[in-house]
C-alpha cells in the first residue's frame, strides 16, 4: 500500500510538539499522565468525556453560526482535549503507531480503489476492509 511519506519513521516517530505542549500543561496544572497504557478512573474518564462533548457542542454551534474563528477555536480545543486523553491513558509513546494502524485500516475500505458512501456521505467498508489490530501494538510494547 502506498504511503504519503517516503520517510515513515521520521514522520511517525518524530516528537510531536503539540503532544509535548499538552504534557507541559498537564504537569503545570498537576493533571495525571500515565507512562504505560492504562485505563483511568470513572471520575477522570467522565471529566475528559464532558470536556470533549462541550467542545463538540461549541463546534456545532460555531458551524451553525457560520463563525470560522469559533469553529477554529473548537477544533483546536478538541485536539487539546484529545491529546490530554492520550497522555491520561499512557498512550503517548504508541499513539503514532496506533494512528498508522487505523489509517491502514481506513484505507482498506476502498472497493477496487473507489470509496463506497452512504447517502449522508459516510464512508462504508469495502470487501478488502480489515479491522485495525490495535491489540497487537499494545501487547507488542507492553507485555
pTM of the shown model: 0.85
4 located within any domain: no
Check whether residue 68 and residue 133 sit in a common domain.
no
Say if CB 32 and CB 94 are below 8 A apart. no
8 located within any domain: no
Please return the burial class of 22, using the count of CB atoms within 10 Å of its CB with bins 0-12, 13-18 and 19+: buried
69 located within any domain: yes
pLDDT at res. 2: 44
73 located within any domain: yes
Nearest 10 degrees: CA dihedral of 74, 78, 81, 83? -130
- What's the total number of domains in the chain? 2
Check whether residue 99 and residue 114 sit in a common domain.
yes
pLDDT at res. 16: 78
109 located within any domain: yes
| 68: three-class secondary structure by DSSP | helix
pLDDT at res. 76: 97
pLDDT tens per residue across all 143 residues of the chain: 444 544 555 554 556 789 999 999 999 999 999 999 999 999 999 999 999 999 999 999 999 999 999 999 999 999 999 999 999 999 999 999 999 999 999 999 999 999 999 999 999 999 999 999 999 999 986 55
pLDDT at res. 140: 85
Q: Residue 137 phi/psi, 5° resolution?
A: -70, -45
Amino acid at each position: 500500500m502506498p504511503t504519503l511519506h517516503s520517510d515513515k519513521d521520521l514522520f511517525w516517530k518524530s516528537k510531536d510538539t503539540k503532544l509535548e505542549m499538552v504534557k507541559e500543561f498537564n504537569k503545570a496544572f498537576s493533571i495525571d499522565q500515565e507512562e504505560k497504557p492504562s485505563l483511568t478512573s470513572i471520575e477522570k474518564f467522565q471529566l475528559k468525556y464532558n470536556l470533549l462533548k462541550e467542545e463538540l457542542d461549541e463546534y456545532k454551534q460555531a458551524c451553525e453560526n457560520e463563525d470560522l474563528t469559533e469553529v477554529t477555536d473548537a477544533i483546536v480545543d478538541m485536539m487539546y482535549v484529545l491529546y490530554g486523553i492520550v497522555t491520561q491513558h499512557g498512550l503517548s509513546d504508541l499513539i503514532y503507531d496506533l494512528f498508522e494502524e487505523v489509517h491502514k485500516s481506513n484505507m482498506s475500505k476502498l472497493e477496487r480503489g473507489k470509496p463506497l458512501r452512504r447517502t449522508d456521505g459516510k464512508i462504508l467498508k469495502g470487501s478488502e476492509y480489515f479491522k485495525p489490530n490495535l491489540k497487537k501494538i499494545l501487547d507488542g510494547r507492553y507485555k
